Amino acid sequence: MFRTGGELLQKAWENGYAIGAFNTNNLEITKSIVKAAVNERAPFIFQVSPSAAKYAGIHFLTAINLIGETETSAAGVPCVLHLDHGLAYHDIVGALRAGFSSVMIDGSKHPFEENVTLTMKIVELAHEANVSVEAELGRLVGVEDEISVTEREASMTDPEKAREFVERTGVDSLAVSIGNAHGWYKGKPQLDFDRLKAINEVAGIPLVLHGGSGIPDEDIKKAISLGIAKINIDTEIRDAFKRGVAGFIEQNPDIFDPRKIMTPAMDEMAKVVASKMRLFGSAGRAEEVAEALRRAA
């Protein structure tokens, strides 16, 4: 069965590593994530955005990822099915009905009090179903699916507001804005590690880094040491898919069998996912996490 995000992230946060959350839109991406997770023995998160659910159908994606979970579970690798950037109540309800084990309510576009009120409502609903909740405070610049935030709209997470937000809402994890961004970065990301350290000291729960694609390895490791327990990867997976398909077609212009075209794309995506699992420190953790979950059951 899918584990909750809270279960996996708490273990990662306590032990100084991060869980990779990999966005999937179709069978090929899910298979690539599964392949990497089993090979690396790494607990992980299947992540589905509302626009991905709209594109593929939320029940189709749930079924595909459930098959993936069956394979990883048989190999002793725990995983989560998580809704990424749920923007409204109906997004969350749809995910809960479909069988997701973790949801994100993104009220970051709202004023603080509205964000608190919306998040509290979602926490109450999800926790009744034994589903963990991620929320966001502060806004990330950039574009991801249907979310577009300009430099002018972006704002970093205030540590004191983060403390209050966590205390009032009861969320299980908090996505923070510390200079990270969705999509490819223009130049080297400038992450505010002092801010992250301050948030970690007062929040008291696992923190989440969105926009993980393109952040230098040394910055990823430092962020993990300062409380980041979940890192989202989407853009690099999409880029690997494009690279695999384009390279194959260029070398084999007369082949139109989608199975042959997709295979190198899946290989490229699996390489990216595996490299992130090693970087995040989750590789080789499957057995200890599975055992800890058994003891806690």
Q: Which residues are known catalytic residues?
A: 84
183 Rama sector, left if φ>0, alpha if ψ -120 to 50, beta otherwise:
left
Residue the block writes with tokens 């295979």: 263
| Residue that is written with structure tokens 């032990």 in the block | 15
Tokens 């979940």 correspond to what residue?
230
Please say whether the dihedral angle defined by the alpha carbons of residues 212, 217, 218 and 222, taken in this order, is positive or negative: positive
The first and second tokens of residue 155, run together, are 């704002």
Q: Please, which residues bridge with residue 233 across strands?
A: 22
Backbone angles phi, psi at 82, to 5 degrees: -120, 135
Distance of alpha carbon 241 from alpha carbon 277, whole angstroms: 18
Q: What angle do CA 57, 63, 69 make, to 5 degrees?
A: 135
Report the candidate in 83, 70, 59, 68 with the shortest Cα–Cα distance to residue 27: 68
In this structure, what is the dihedral angle of CA atoms 128, 133, 137, 142, given to the nearest 10 degrees? Answer: -140
Q: Residue 182: beta bridge partners?
A: 142
Six-digit token string for 294 = 């058994």
Distance CA 274, CA 25 (A): 18
**Alpha-carbon span 245 to 34, nearest angstrom:** 20
Distance CA 30, CA 67 (A): 9
User: Token match 């301050």: residue?
Assistant: 198
